[in-house]
Each structure stands twice: as structure tokens, then as C-alpha cells.
Structure 1
Amino acid sequence: MLLQDVECQISKSSCRYVSWRNKPAVEGQHGGILAASFVLVVEVLENLAYLANASNLVLYLSKFMHFSPSRCSNIVSNFMGTAFVLALLGGFLADAFFTTYCIYLISATIELTGLVILTLQAHARSLKPESCLSANRNDKCQHVEGGNEAVLFIGLYLVALGVGGIKGSLPPHGAEQFDEETAQGRKQRSSFFNYYVFCLACGALIAVTFAVWVEDNKGWQWGFGISTMAILISIPIFLLGSTFYRIKLPTGSPITTICKVLAAASINTFSSNARTAVVSTNPSSTSNSMQTIEEDNKVENSLTEELSFLNRAVMNKSTFITFKVNTKQVEEVKIVLKIFPVFISTIMLNCCLAQLSTFSVQQAATMNTKIGSLRVPPASLPVFPVIFIMILAPMYDHVIIPLARKITKTEMGITHLQRIGIGLFLSIMAMAVAALVEIKRKKVAHEAALMSSTEPLPITFLWVSLQYLFLGSADLFSLAGMMDFFFTEAPFSMRSLATSLSWASLAMGYYLSSVLVSIVNHVTGTFRHTPWLHGRNLNHYHLERFYWLMCILSALNFLVYVMWSKSYKYGSQRYDERSNDTRMLCKSTGV
């Protein structure tokens, strides 16, 4: 039965996609590399628009909106976390009600509106708090409030909503352009995710160099203006590809399907136990109940044995509550539950990545940031992992993968789970390197008698770039691997939502980083008079111990991931096994 379902789905695959005119997509005319290339160009502009603000937003809030340092940190953390979490909403709406094509256009328009509001506020003096010329500005200046504060947060969260919708729709829209029924199409889709991360890095490079320089030297109205123009230009570029796109039709709410299956399985488990009790106490109902149980067994034989608890969702029901659940829906929910551990495993990796914009920047700020006669701002350190990703991404696609295919004799060369695992391992190495660099930095500070000084230490900040390189490599392997894995393995009706888990993992990593710092300070402050991460002078921190803790937690996370991934079966393997089982059944019954 399942084999027939699979074959039916394959035969009708062309009906799953339409053109932008809502007509059936034509093979050779819609989709392919040309259609995906529009998505990649748009992603450069979209990430430029987002990071041009996010990377330097703390300065704008503190210097021009006069918020306190702690309030600025909270505002930026909440803004970035909300943007990535809202990717789940964008993916859900694309799967359930709209299309990735429509969600991108709606989200880009929302982000554009938010950026226009922020640009106008940065330009208009009446929408900002009064300038403060006193030396003790942070103590005496009044931060933005009232209607002007409302304007600020409306602009910020419109941008966050737009970014979330774009992150949840643009990657799956690009991946939908490739035919998954052919080996060539699957290879091209894997390359697409690799170059998607490359384009993310391209946009980030422009944002943290040119855009940040404009904000610092020409004014924030020009910085917001750059973001506004970038997202404005991205919309017509996206529309130019309309005649080439193939667009997946929405198939209804995936969350509803998951809830129905879980609820039906739970209810039928209870009713099955009750029915068994009736059989044992009322012999007159034995024949009917046994017939029902035999029918249930026939249905369960058509389902996979994994997560067998969910198989009860399609059993005959004897309660007044009924759900229309079929075997296909049960198998889809099983797939979702089996890929969820990857999402959980990558949160720790993204927690490590969060250190790039927090403690690593503060480390560099205490060191010598000169390269020859050029002084590099510590906030520009993300340039190192960005450049490394831009070098490594093409190398991975054109050198590493072809070599791996020759060695392994497989279509993929390096599987999705192996790629994510490499990213997790590199994050362990990054935290170990970060701890060793911090030990060296504090040793130099002690030898130079600058432990309590704010003067730059006689050690180059390039030592910190080592951990950036490891974490940048980890980000390339993990993010591209996660998006490819979630899109490929997720049920057809849930692909956008599943791909959005990659961004939700990033948000959870940022939140976990804040929680870990609070827990570490609470625990160490309980057993010691001074917490590890407390005070104004970084030299008095025990940051190296925190990094070692992160290294240990990452290693434990990696071991759990390896144990789980060894038992995971890819979708193609599951279908092959079902096909073999069906053939054996047909052979044994003479069909």
C-alpha cells in the first residue's frame, strides 16, 4: 500500500508545482539553476539590509536613543531572537495557506515599511531625544520615550517580522526549483544550499564594512537608507525571476496534521486498553472485538515499526471523538519527530556562535587592534569568519565534495548528518582554542602588570581571529547541512516549516547563551565570593573556565548526536526498505 502511495506521488509530482500564473509548471521551462540564481542574488541584498542594522544597532540605541548599555543589549538580543524565531511563522504560512513566492513578497514589503520608519526617525530630529552635550551623557540624558519610542519599536519589529518571513520562505523557494527525482537535481539542490550560505556571507561582508562605515561616519539615516534601498531593489529582482519559478502549492496546516496524529494515537491507546478489558469480561463481544483487532493489525502492518506508538492513530476507534487520520499522515509525523533531535543538537553549536558577538569582541577590545598603521574596530571582527566562509564554500562544492564522491562512491559524498557533525566537532575545537587564547591573553596582561588597567595589551587581536575561523567553518558546515537535511527529509507538506528550524536553532542558541551566563554566575557566585563573569574589567573574569565549560558541553552534545545519527535512516533508505518488504509480501502471496 505504501509503495503504491509512493509511486502515485511520483507520478503526480508535476501537479505539485505551478507557475506564478497558477498554471501547472512545465519541466524545462520552470525551475532549475536560472530560477535559483535570482533567489541567491536576492539573499545577498536581504542579508545586507538586515545585518547593516543588527551588527551596529547597539551603538545607535546607546549613542542616539540614549538607552543604558544593559537595555541596549536586551533590545538587540530580543530583536535578533524574534527575527529568527519568526522564520517558523513564515515557513508555516508558506506550507499551509500561501506559497513561498507570496510570503517572500509580503515579508519584503513589511521589512521595507519598517526600514522606512527607522530611516525617517534617524533623519527627523523631532522623532529622537534631545542631543546631550554633557560629559556624563549616559547619566543625565533622557532616553527616547512616548510616541517616539513607539515609532522606534514599531520600526524594529516590523523589520523583525519581515526578516523572519523572508528567512522562512526564501531558502525553501530556491530549493523547490530543483527536481528531486533525479540525481542531478539533488546534487544541484545541495549546491544551492551551499551557495546560499556563501551569499549570506557576501551580504554580511558588505554590511559589516561599508554599511557600518557609513553609519559611523555619515550618519544613521544613511545607514538605514542603505538597508532600505537594498530591500527595495531586491523586490523587483525577485519578480524578474517570476517566469522561471516553479512554486509549490500549499497543502494545509502541517501543525494540524501533527496534532491530529498525536491526539488520535493517545485516544486510541486508551480506547484499545478499554476494548481489551471488555473482551476479557464480556465473552459475547469477543468475536466483534477480535475482528476489530485483526483489522487494526492489517493497518499496522502497512506502517513502519519505528515510533510504533503513532501507529495506533489509524486504528478503528470506539470513542465519540474521531479524527480523520491516514497512514500517510502518520508516516509524515514520524519523520518530523525523527528529525527533531538534529534541531536540538544544533542549539549548542549556535550557543557557541553567539560568543562571536559578545565575549570575543570584548576580548579583542582589550588587545592591540592595529595591523600595521591600520586600526581595526573590534566590532569588525566578524569579517574574518565571513571571508573564510566565502573562500571555503566554493572550495567545498568544487573540491571537497567531488573528492568525497570518488572516495565513498556515493551520490552525496558527505551526507547531511556527517556535514552537521563536522560543524558540531569544529565548534568543540573553537571553544578549546578560545579558552587557550584567553589563557594567553591573561598571561600577557599579568606579565605586563595591566590586569587592572584599561590600556591595550601588548598582544595582537589576531589571536582571537583563530576562534572566529573555527566557528565560521562550523557555521558553513552546519547551516547549509541543516537546511539541506530538513528540506530533503521533511514531508513534502512541511518543508518550509522544517527548513525554518535552522533559523529557530540560531535563536535558541542566542537565548541559551544568555541563560548559561546567568546560571554560571549564579552557581559560581554561590560557592565563591565573585562569579566567573562579573565586573567591568574583563581581565578579572574567568572567561577561560567558561569557554572550557562550553567545550565540555559541546563535546557531550556531539557524543549524543553521534549516537542518534548512527541509527537514523534517510528517506530514500526507508522507501527502499518498504519496497523490499512489499516485494517479499507479493512474492510470498503469489501476487
Structure 2
Amino acid sequence: MEIKLQDRERSIGVEDYTDYKGRKADQSKHGGFKPAVLTCVVEVLENMVFLSNATNFVSYFLKSMHYSAAKSSNMVTNFIGTSFLLTIVGGFISDSFFTRFTTFIISCVIQLLGLILLTYQAQHSTLKPAENRTPSESQEVILNCGLYAIAVGVGGIKASLPTHGADQLDHNKQHHISSFFNWFFCSLCTGGLLAASVMVWVQENRGWNFSFIISDIVLALALCIFVLGFPFYRYKSPSGSPLTRIIKVFASTARNWKASAEGRVNHGAEAEENATEQSHDKFKFLNKALLDETVDEAEVKETKTFLGLLPIFLTTIMMNCCLAQLQTFTVQQGIIMNRKLNNNFTIPTQSLTVLPLIIMIASIPIFENLKYFYRHKSFTQSKIFQPLGRIGLGLALASVSMAVAAVVEAKRREETKKNEEGVILSIFWLGWQYLFLAISDALTLGGMLEFFYSKAPDRMRSICTALSWCSTSMGYFISSVLVKVSNGVSGRYGREWLGGHDLNQARLDLFYALLCVLNFLNFLLYLYCARRY
């Protein structure tokens, strides 16, 4: 019965694909590898724009807007967290009301408008605060409107673009879907590499005025490239609100909670047989919803599948708390470390991601070639090649990265105390935590994108894939909470770990150690959930 239901869902999904005129898609003319590759090209440009700003907003808020270090860090984590949290809204819209193509267009335009607003503010000194003064209310309004317009745009883009790209491929060939998400992640890394090298250099040497202008041009180019492929895409018709269907299943289950199996007569003999065959699976209490004529088996199965994904989603959040440090405290560490290279070149802290990104980009073709070579052998069935295995390894490396970060920060503080001038330890020591966290993110996010898309119900692919980005969002928000809680608790027993403007007087090493312990415990919880999936 399970196989029959999956086949039925697959056929429904194929029939729902149309061309740009709303006619049934022709497999020989619409979809395929070329349109999927086009989405990867667009992602390179879009992610370059997003990351080049997100990773440097701490510096912008500190130097141009004159916020404190703690406020700047929290503003960045809140901005990035909101951007990724809004992917749930973007996924809901593209599953329910608009095609993923339309959702991307609308979202990209909104993000572009937000960037233009920040560009205008950066170009006019009257819209920025005077030296040593924080922004006025009107200046803050302009800044926040620009920031959160970008966040809204990013939320829609991240939810719609990867699913739109995967929709172009044959879902009967899982290795094609897996390869797409590997190459899509490669596109993310390539955009990050351009952000960490070219764009960081522009921001450091030419200022934010030029950086914003380049971002405007690049994002507009990404929008144009995406639109050019519209005659060749195949489009997934929206199927109505998945939230409404889930609520209906729970409501029907609650109404029939005390009903016995003998009362299953509303769907006839076939529906009763199907419900009985489903009773062995997880969340079998939801089968009681089938007693209502308004609920069908596909809706119950859809709800069960979504609930089954949630434990995996929840156990990936803590890893992203570590990732948040690279845009906040790690940047602040780098600013006060020795960034000189041969006394001629000053290394921007954010450019430390270049080497890990190069390693990750190079690893994608190696990984794909290994899969292709061993496609018909048992090696490809190894857990490390499966999404859950890659996610688990990524979570383990997150704990390792925080242990390394704690040791490096303790060494930096020790060396600073020994030297009267302060700046002694080389910034290259931070490279280790960048490396471990970059690989952790590659394994975890890449595995999540493939896992949530492949396991999602056909009518909920956007919103389920958005769980990957939502995990990042929750991680950034929880990072802000952990900073406040750590300061509150440590302040009661002496000095706040992360209080004040001087990082040399803080205890960032203890905060990193706390994250290491929390991530290790989270990893153990993930192993339990993954084995039960």
C-alpha cells in the first residue's frame, strides 16, 4: 500500500507541472539539467550579495553607525535570523498561492529595493550619524527598513530557488536530485567565496558606498538571468495551504479521539483497508482523522511525514549557534589580532573563510565522482553518503570547532596580557575554527537540503526545504539568547563573560566552551532521533 501511495503522489506531482503558458509541461522541452544549472548560477550571484553584506554588517554597524559591539552583534544575528526564518513564509507562499518562479521574482525585487535604500543612505552623510554618535530615530528607521526588506527578499529566495531548481529534474532518479543539491551547495560556497574575497576587499578599500552599488548591480543581473530561462522551466502549480490541511487532520483526529476502529465506515472498504495497513507506522493516532469524509489518506500521510521531519530539524539548530559566531564575535576577535601579512598587506577577518570555501568547492566534484564510480556498489549505501550521515558528521564537527575556538581565544587572551602593545597573536589562528565550522556547515546544510526536499510530501516541498534555512535562523536567535543568559548568570557571580566593549576583558573562551558542551549533548540527541527515523 505504501508503494502504491508513493506512486500515486509521484504521478500527481508530474501532472501538476506546466509550462509558462499553463499547459502541461513537455518533458522534451521543459525542465532538465540546463534550467537546473541556471538556478545554480543565479544562486552564486544572490548568495554573494547576501553574504558580502551579512558578514560585514558588524563592521558597518560599528564603524559607520557607531553602535556598541554587543548591539552590533545582536543586530547582525537578528537580521540573519529573520532572513532565514522568513523562508518558512516564502515556502508557504510558493506551495500555496504562487509558483516558485513567481515567488522568486517578487522576493528578488523586494531584496533589491532594500539594497537600494541602504545604498542611498550610505551615499548621503545626512542620513548617517555624526562621529561618536549613534543614529537618530529617522536614521534608524531608514536602516531597519532597508535591512528587513532585504530579509524578506532573502526569505522568499532561499525557499523558492532550490526547490524550483530541483523541480526541473526527474524525481524517479534520486541520484539526480542528490547531485543537484550538491551542486547547489557548491553554488552557495562559490557565492560565499566571492563575498569573502572580492567584496570584502571592496568594503575594506573602497568603502560601503561602492560595496552597496556593486550589490545592487549583481542582484539585478541575477534577476535578469533567472527571468531569461522562463520559456524552458517547468512550473509546479500551487496546491493550496498545507497548514490548512495539517490543521484539518489534527482537528479531525481530536474529534474522533474516542472512536474505535470499528467505526471506520465513511471511506468504504478500501479506505478502511488502507487505514489498517497504515496503522503500523509512526503517528498512527492520526489515522482516526480518516473517519471524517473531508479527510483523505494523502492528507494524513502528508501530516505524518511533516511531523517525522521535525526531530531532525530541531536537532540541527544548535550547530547554527556556532555558525553565528563567525559573523559576530569571531569578526571582533580578528579586528584586534595581528592581521599583517609580510608587513605589507592587512588581512580582513572575513577573508579567512576563503581557504575552507575553496576546500568545500573542490570536494563537491570529488564527492560526485565517487558516487558515480561506486553507483552500483555497496559503497554508495554507506551512511556517510546518505543525508542523515552527513548531517551527523557535521553536528559532531560543530562541537569540535567550538572546542578549538575556546582554546584559541584562551591563548589570544594570554598572549595579549604578556605583551604591552596588545596585538600579538596572528589572525591565522582563527582559521582552524573557520575550517571546522565551514566543513560542518557544508555537511549539515547540504544534507538537510537534500533530506527535506526528498522526504517532503509533493505538495509541501518548498516549506519542508525551508526547514533547512529555518534551522539556521533559530540558531542565530538562540545565539543572541545564549549571550544574554550567559551575561546574566555570569554577572551575578562576578564579571559578565561578554560585557563591555573590550574583548580582552571578556571571557569569550568560556562562552565557546559552553557552546562546545551544548553541541556535544545535541549530537547525542541527534543520533537517537536519526536512528528512530
User: What's the TM-score, normalizing by structure 1?
Assistant: 0.83
Is 2:256 the partner of 1:263? no
Question: What is the deviation of 1:546?
Answer: 2.5
Distance 1:410 1:290, change over 3 A: closer
Structure label with greater radius of gyration = 1
> 2: distance between equivalents of 1:520 and 1:533?
8
Aligned residue in 2 for 1:554:
519
> 1: distance between equivalents of 2:218 and 2:264?
67
Aligned residue in 2 for 1:441:
412
Aligned residue in 2 for 1:252:
240
**Contact map agreement 1:361 1:381 (CA 8 A) in 2:** no
Q: Deviations over 1:536-566 (max 9, x none)?
A: 4434433333322222211111111111211
Aligned residue in 2 for 1:303:
278
Q: Deviations over 1:491-524 (max 9, x none)?
A: 0000000001111111111111121222222223
Question: What is the deviation of 1:6?
Answer: 3.5
Is 2:181 the partner of 1:198? no
Aligned residue in 2 for 1:160:
151
Between 302-311 and 36-45, report the one with greater CA deviation.
302-311
Distance 1:401 1:98, change over 3 A: same
Aligned residue in 2 for 1:475:
441
Aligned residue in 2 for 1:236:
224
Aligned residue in 2 for 1:579:
none
> 2: distance between equivalents of 1:413 and 1:76?
33
Q: 1:415 aligns with which of 350, 375, 386?
A: 386
SS in 2 for 1:500: helix
Q: Deviations over 1:356-389 (max 9, x none)?
A: 1223233333432223232212243333433332
Q: Deviations over 1:81-137 (max 9, x none)?
A: 2111111111111101111111011111111222222222222345444xx4xxxx3
Q: Which runs of 5+ in 1 are unaligned?
A: 277-287, 317-322, 569-591
Is 2:399 the partner of 1:428? yes
Question: What is the deviation of 1:204?
Answer: 1.9
Between 460-469 and 170-179, report the one with greater CA deviation.
460-469
> 1: distance between equivalents of 2:220 and 2:58?
24
Between 398-407 and 304-313, report the one with greater CA deviation.
398-407
> 2: distance between equivalents of 1:198 and 1:84?
19
> 1: distance between equivalents of 2:481 and 2:35?
42
Letter in 1 for 2:513: W
Distance 1:516 1:454, change over 3 A: farther
Distance 1:299 1:407, change over 3 A: closer
The count of aligned residue pairs is: 530
> 2: distance between equivalents of 1:454 and 1:309?
67
> 2: distance between equivalents of 1:92 and 1:290?
32
> 2: distance between equivalents of 1:545 and 1:413?
32
> 2: distance between equivalents of 1:366 and 1:445?
10
> 1: distance between equivalents of 2:70 and 2:486?
18
Aligned residue in 2 for 1:36:
36
> 1: distance between equivalents of 2:70 and 2:512?
22
**Contact map agreement 1:401 1:413 (CA 8 A) in 2:** no
> 1: distance between equivalents of 2:27 and 2:243?
31
Letter in 2 for 1:532: W
Distance 1:514 1:405, change over 3 A: farther
Distance 1:431 1:126, change over 3 A: closer
> 1: distance between equivalents of 2:268 and 2:101?
47
Aligned residue in 1 for 2:323:
353
**Contact map agreement 1:430 1:467 (CA 8 A) in 2:** yes
**Contact map agreement 2:456 2:464 (CA 8 A) in 1:** yes
Aligned residue in 2 for 1:582:
none
Distance 1:386 1:290, change over 3 A: closer
Letter in 2 for 1:425: A
Distance 1:566 1:298, change over 3 A: same
Aligned residue in 2 for 1:313:
289
Question: What is the deviation of 1:45?
Answer: 1.0
Q: 1:497 aligns with which of 463, 468, 475?
A: 463
Between 211-220 and 342-351, report the one with greater CA deviation.
211-220
Q: 2:301 aligns with which of 322, 331, 340?
A: 331
User: What's the TM-score, normalizing by structure 2?
Assistant: 0.91
User: Residues 6-155 of structure 1 correspond to what in structure 2 (within 5 A)?
Assistant: 6-129=6-129, 132=130, 137-138=131-132, 141=133, 143-146=135-138, 148-155=139-146
Between 302-311 and 97-106, report the one with greater CA deviation.
302-311
> 1: distance between equivalents of 2:128 and 2:496?
38
> 1: distance between equivalents of 2:115 and 2:499?
36
Aligned residue in 2 for 1:220:
208
Aligned residue in 1 for 2:452:
486
Between 62-71 and 507-516, report the one with greater CA deviation.
62-71
Question: What is the deviation of 1:400?
Answer: 6.7
Aligned residue in 1 for 2:177:
189
SS in 1 for 2:182: helix
Is 2:423 the partner of 1:456? yes
> 2: distance between equivalents of 1:529 and 1:490?
49
Question: What is the deviation of 1:393?
Answer: 2.6
**Contact map agreement 1:421 1:558 (CA 8 A) in 2:** yes
Letter in 1 for 2:448: M
> 2: distance between equivalents of 1:311 and 1:430?
44
Letter in 2 for 1:25: A
Question: What is the deviation of 1:199?
Answer: 1.3
Aligned residue in 2 for 1:342:
312
> 1: distance between equivalents of 2:267 and 2:46?
56
SS in 2 for 1:302: helix
> 1: distance between equivalents of 2:394 and 2:481?
23
Q: Which runs of 5+ in 2 are unaligned?
A: none
**Contact map agreement 1:432 1:548 (CA 8 A) in 2:** yes
Aligned residue in 2 for 1:543:
508
What is the alpha-carbon root mean square deviation over aligned residues?
A: 2.7
Question: What is the deviation of 1:411?
Answer: 9.5
SS in 1 for 2:316: helix
SS in 1 for 2:257: helix
> 1: distance between equivalents of 2:384 and 2:316?
22
